[in-house]
Amino acid sequence: MAVTAPPRPNDSPAPPSRGLGTGPRPPGILTDHIFRWVALASGLLVLAILALIAYTTIDNAWPWFRHEGLGIFADNWDPAKGEFGAGAMIYGTFLVGVIALVISVPVSIGIALFVNEIAHENLRKPIIYVVDLLAAIPSVVYGLWALAVLTKPLADIYQSISDATSGIPIIGDLTANPSKSGLGYMTAGIIVAIMITPIITSLTREVFATTPPSLKEAAYGMGATRWEMIRGSVFPHSRGGLVSAVMIGLGRAIGETIAVALLIGSSQHISENIFGPGDTLAAIIANQFGEAVGIQRAALIGMGVVLLVLTVGVGILARGIVSRYDRRSGAVA
Amino acid sequence: MTAVASHLTPLPKSRARKVKNFVATAVIGLAFVVALVPLVFLVVYVVQQGSKVISWEFLTEDLPFVDRLPGGGMNPAVVGTLLITGAASLMAIPLGVLGGIYLNEYGGRSPLARFIRFLSEVMTGVPSIVMGLFIYTLVVLNTKEKTGFAGALALACLMLPIVIRTTDQMLALVPSELREGSFALGSRKVRTIRTVVLPSAAAGIVSGALLAVARAAGETAPLLFTIGIVREANTDLFAGQNTALSVQIFTNATSPFSVQQDRAWGAALTLIVIVFVTTIAARLVTAFFARRQTA
């Protein structure tokens, strides 16, 4: 990951000396040139694909932008009436992302600290492998499993939390009317949290690992307990990297599609009710694209564009935080 | 580092500090357990449900004529997943390795290389559903046909930046003395890369590529609108529609009919086996090469 790219040993690779053999052109020079250009072309492919993604999706979504104008951000998705505002989906995307982060970030920081500071050296690799297996499980299998196993017990839990908090000003509103099926923002958020934990864990681990041993030893030398050392040395050193790890996690969370499509409950209205059903940009594309025609199809492709802008924006922001932090501390290469 | 000092001024209640340290350690350890619980429960449940369904017939028979009828198997989806992922790997891995070679061996710290590095980072973050929409608008709308190859293109777009970045990072770990030694013996750049640089970084590149394959094999979103549906195995990627395990799980997951749910669990177990075997293979490659290098 970008957070700690390893130092590049060959910043100025020694070019093969050309001047020594002054005879006829040595063989292989053509191969060298051809290979160089082929390699460059493969690298530029990334640029070409990204440009094509932007062009073809915006081109196909254009009827939607023209039809709705700024109405694309309105909370009025109703294909039957010809209304295609994506407000509810944008809201749902962020709500699911925030729920996922609130659950996942503390757990990920905990695992990262456990691996880096507490676990025995021989246990580190197995623990990392196990956490990475969470990332290997396909999104659709998470969705299938959560549908079969989690939704019923979660519906009961939501109901009892809702009963317990009814009447409390703000919290009571957030938990009113939980969905009977157990489908909704919270269920989707919980599953997305599991799915983004491996990436946030591995990024945080890299950030924590950059804490100079001297800082840690200084803390221990002053008589700090392990926790005080973590709070006093590891956390202050890692703040910038942590923020960017969280941003990258948010980027993954808002792009998460299939599990959310199965668990979100598909209700296209903004609702402050975190236990109720909703919809997200990615989920509505997966669920409705098959049957959509005309403006609705353009609108769904347009929501893909919005999703692309959001994820790329969050990614660039995360990178900006890292590089600003790098310049200041000079700690991460 | 004034913050450090303020935390570390000697506190009188050393017992309170010890308790605090113990609680913090316990909470940190608990975080790992919290992550472990869903993994174990999910895998056990999928194996339980899937093993009831999986049989030789399940893996080798066609899909039933109508989804809610009993009987039939998942053969078209197994074939589809293997073929589509395989084709995607054949496109993305060579191109990705070449791109990574450009970044580290030719580009280095040049502005163009940094720009491409930045773009591949951005591309890693592009959601898989957007890749599906992209191939739909670029390929399916133009050829007017959904094919396995369209799905493979979408998966390849997902894999490409992962392979480029892994290759770039792994090549950066190869000591420059090795390259210089090769140059000093008179090898040209291509020969140096082929015989010295790539073999030194092979383990990391292979393992990174396998992880990308595992991720692609489990993807649903890029295939939803690009490959269509088929009930008998279609081994021709370029003609006719296709299907895949992930897509079958998605369409059967919400069905009220128990035969369809069973089929979803069988497909889920098959898919998890494919993905885990690939992931573990990636780890074994790394471990094997690491041991050989130290020996």
Hey, where are the domains in chain A? 87-329
Measure B266 CA to nearest chain A CA, in Å. 11
Rounded to a whole number of angstroms, the distance from the CA of A29 to the nearest CA of chain B is 8
Chain A residue closest to B270 (CA)?
A: A141
For residue B124, tell me if it sits in a domain. yes
Rounded-to-integer distance, Cα B193 and Cα B167, Å: 13
Closest partner residue to B180 (CB to CB) among A14, A215, A286 is A14
- Of A127, A133, A116, A249, residue with least CA distance to A192: A249
Q: Which residue would you say has higher pLDDT here, B157 or A7?
A: B157
| pLDDT tens-digit readout, A107-147 | 999 999 999 999 998 999 889 888 888 989 999 999 999 99
The arithmetic mean of pLDDT across residues A83-101, rounded, is: 96
Min Cα distance A50 → chain B (Å) is 7
Band of pLDDT at residue B15, cut at 50, 70 and 90: confident
pLDDT at A2 over 50: no
Contacts of B105 in chain A (CB under 8 A): 10, 13, 39
Residue A260 CA to residue A280 CA, distance in Å, equals 8
d(CA A131, CA A73) in angstroms, rounded, equals 38
Q: For residue A148, list chain B residues with Cβ-Cβ distance below 8 A.
A: 45, 49, 261
Q: Is the pLDDT of residue A19 over 80?
A: no
Q: How confident is the model at residue B46 (pLDDT cuts 50, 70, 90)?
A: very high
Q: Answer whether B214 sits within 8 Å of A225, measured CB to CB.
A: no
Whether residue A251 has pLDDT greater than 70? yes
Res B254: pLDDT: 87
How confident is the model at residue A12, as a pLDDT? 46
- Asked if pLDDT for residue A284 goes beyond 90, the answer is yes
Residue A233 contacts B where some CB pair is shorter than 8 Å:
yes
> What is the mean pLDDT of the segment spanning B231-236?
92
Confidence of residue A239 (pLDDT cuts 50, 70, 90): confident
Residue of chain A minimizing CA distance to B39: A134
Tokens of residue A158, six digits: 């939501």
Give the rounded percent of residues in chain A with a pLDDT score beyond 70.
Answer: 89
Mean pLDDT, residues A262-274: 93
Q: A 125-154 residues with CB below 8 A of B?
A: 127, 129-134, 136-145, 147-149
Instruction: Give the closest residue to A236 by CA, choosing from A217, A212, A201, A220.
Output: A212
Q: A1: pLDDT confidence band, cut at 50, 70 and 90?
A: very low
The angle at the Cα of A224, spanning A223 to A225, to the nearest 5 degrees, equals 120
Q: With H, G, I as helix, E, B as strand and everything else as coil, classify residue B161.
A: helix
Q: Are A218 and B121 an interchain contact pair (Cβ–Cβ within 8 Å)?
A: no
Helix (H) or strand (E) holding A77: strand A77-78
Helices B258-294 + B75-101 axis angle, to 10: 30
Question: Cα torsion for B103, B106, B111, B112, to the nearest 10°?
Answer: -70
> How many CA atoms, within 13 angstroms, populate the side-chain half-sphere of residue A106?
10
Q: How far apart are CA A16 and CA B184, in angstroms?
A: 8
Q: Of residues A254 and B3, which shows the higher confidence score?
A: A254
Question: Is the Cβ–Cβ distance between B163 and B216 less than 8 Å?
Answer: no
At A318 the pLDDT is: 85
Is B189 a residue whose pLDDT tops 50? yes
pLDDT at position A325: 65
pLDDT reading at A79 higher than 50: yes
Q: Once rounded to an integer, what is the mean pLDDT over residues A11-22?
A: 48
CB A85 within 8 Å of CB A71: yes
Q: Average pLDDT for residues A293-316, to the nearest whole number?
A: 94
- Give the pLDDT band of residue B13 (cuts 50, 70, 90): low
pLDDT at A327: 56
Q: How many CB atoms lie within 10 A of CB A65?
A: 16
Predicted confidence at residue B9, as pLDDT, reads 57
Q: Which residue range(s) make up the domain with B61?
A: 57-294
Average pLDDT, chain A: 88
Give yes or no for A209 touching B (CB within 8 A): no
**Burial of A77 per CB tally in 10 Å (0-12, 13-18, 19+):** buried
Q: How many domains does chain B have?
A: 1
Residues B250-271: what's their mean pLDDT?
Answer: 93
Q: What is this structure's pTM?
A: 0.89
Give the pLDDT confidence score for residue A76 in this predicted structure. Answer: 92
Residue at B11 is within a domain: no
The percentage of residues in chain B with a pLDDT greater than 70, rounded to a whole number, is 95
Q: Which residues of B touch A312 (CB under 8 A)?
A: 122, 125-126
Chain A residue with minimal CA distance to B28?
A: A110
Topology classification of domain A87-329: MetI-like fold (1.10.3720)
Task: Residue A29: list chain B partners with CB under 8 A.
Answer: 188
CB proximity A38 to B under 8 Å: yes
Q: How confident is the model at residue A9 (pLDDT cuts 50, 70, 90)?
A: very low
- Whether the predicted pLDDT of A331 surpasses 70: no
Chain B residues with beta carbon closer than 8 angstroms to that of A252? 125
Alpha helices (runs of H) in chain A, residue ranges in sequence order: 29-68, 87-113, 121-136, 139-145, 151-165, 169-175, 185-209, 213-221, 226-229, 235-255, 258-263, 281-288, 294-329
- Write out chain B residues lying below 8 Å of A130, CB-based: 36, 39
C-alpha span between A215 and A46 (Å, rounded): 40
Indicate the burial class of B148 (C-beta count within 10 angstroms; 0-12, 13-18, 19 or more).
buried
B93 lies in some domain: yes
Pair A111, A131: CB distance under 8 Å = yes
* Position B191 in a domain: yes
Instruction: Convert the pLDDT of each residue in A148-182 to its tens digit.
Output: 999 999 999 999 999 888 888 888 888 888 888 99
Lowest mean pLDDT of A31-35, A195-199, B88-92, name the range: A31-35
C-alpha triplet B292, B94, A42: angle, nearest 5°: 125
Q: Measure the CA–CA gap between A217 and A233, rounded to whole angstroms.
A: 9
Give the A:B interface size as CB pairs under 8 Å. 317
A11 — pLDDT class (breaks 50, 70, 90):
very low
Are A276 and A177 in contact by the 8 Å Cβ rule? The answer is yes
CB contacts under 8 A, A 272-291 vs B, are 282, 285-286, 289-290
Residues of chain B positioned with their CB less than 8 A from the CB of A285 = 129, 133
Counted residue by residue, chain B has a size of 295
Indicate which CATH number applies to the domain containing B76. 1.10.3720.10
